[in-house]
Amino acid sequence: MYAQLVKSEGSKSREEMTPEELAFQERIDRGEKIEPKEWMPEGYRKTLIRQIGQHAHSEIVGQLPEGNWITRAPTLERKAILLAKVQDEAGHGLYLYSAAETLGVSRDELMELLHAGKMKYSSIFNYPTLTWADMGAVGWLVDGAAIMNQVPLQRTSYGPYSRAMIRICKEESFHQRQGYAIMMKMAQGTPAQKRMAQDALNRLWYPALMMFGPSDKDSVHSAQSMAWKIKMNTNDELRQKFVDQTVPQAEYLGLTVPDPNLKWNEEKGGYDFSEPDWSEFYDVLAGNGPCNKDRLGARVKAWEDGAWFREALVVHAEKAAARRAQAAE
């Protein structure tokens, strides 16, 4: 899940709604899609910008931890697969910024908010990728967690967001399978490779659980987003689903989920498991994760170092247009 703690408005009862708001809510309740030029409450628009923007930022910052291993990928094939994957992430960023643009905010504005620390990206990308097994674990766990959230978002009420999600989900599930394939290879490999695989699971398990955001009891602003079908499931529902799906996959790999309290609960038909350390989560969101400074610093540097490049393209386009106009006279 690439959007955590997205601020939304307090929800309104039907009696409190204006006739326009009521008609809008009824369209959503009927399952209609809202399209860019149509009327929407300001709160809906703002919440969507925050959520889609955060998701887009997560995709582009998310290039960095995986990009970290492209030049060290162990075979030509693994290198090609990883390159293709990181390229997909950039592509997802592009769809999502485009979806956000339909709500009246430019990509440049969103980038500036990111760089100024006024918009967030998923906490998971503030963790380092320390061994090659992390390329497997990121695909398996991080993309796996993202899919849990994004599959239901294919049915979200905002048309452009929903359509972006449909494309993204296809690619993400491919990424997850690739990640798992790396894990299989490592888990069946030499003792050193197995150690890498277990170590990656140990480090990334709880950060992956944090991706779904805080527990429902502590999650603010969820009700309105759910009424608007911007958020489709609660954080705890998705986290439970993720654990239930992932534990058997870890067992198949012969790896141990780093949770002594993990236990199948027959009655609820799911696993009982330990909560992540939420103080760590809030520390990471506050900028104190292991890689916050490096990740944001890399994005800011890329943006600033590239200013001359972007400016030159604009100036060239203006010159070319002027020349065409002159030729037409």
DSSP-derived secondary structure for 92-128: HHHHHHHHHHTTT--HHHHHHHHHTTSS---GGGGS-
| Interactions with another protein, residue window 22-61 (CB under 8 A) | 60
Shorter beta-carbon distance to another protein: residue 76 or 328: 76
173 binds another protein (CB under 8 A): no
Residues whose CB falls within 8 Å of the CB of residue 62, separated by 6 or more in sequence, listed in order: 2, 89, 121, 122, 125
**Nearest C-alpha neighbor of 178 from the set 138, 150, 139:** 139
What is the CB-side half-sphere exposure of residue 263 using CA atoms within 13 A? 5
Instruction: Choose which of 166, 302, 321, 322 interacts with another protein (CB under 8 A).
Output: 302
128 touches another protein by CB under 8 A: no
12 binds another protein, rule: CB under 8 A: no
Closest approach, Cβ 310 to another protein, in A, equals 6
* Residue 133, number of CB atoms within 10 A of its CB: 26
The answer to whether residue 177 forms part of the interface with another protein (CB under 8 A) is no
Q: DSSP 3-state assignment of 68?
A: coil
Among 162, 179, 201, 205, residue whose Cα is nearest residue 55:
162
Backbone angles phi, psi at 10, to 5 degrees: -65, 145
Q: Which two tokens stand for residue 304?
A: 């600033």
Applying CB under 8 A, which part among 144-152, 166-174, 268-276, 312-320 lies near another protein?
A: 312-320
Min. distance of Cβ 139 from another protein in angstroms?
Answer: 14
- The residue from 166, 192, 220, 322 that contacts another protein (CB under 8 A) is 192
Please report whether residue 107 would count as binding another protein according to CB under 8 A: yes
> Which of positions 67-106 make contact with another protein (CB under 8 A)?
67, 70-80, 83-84, 86-87, 90-91, 93-94, 97
Which residues form the interface with another protein (CB under 8 A)?
Answer: 60, 63-64, 67, 70-80, 83-84, 86-87, 90-91, 93-94, 97, 107, 132, 182, 185, 189-190, 192-193, 298, 301-303, 305-313, 315-317, 319
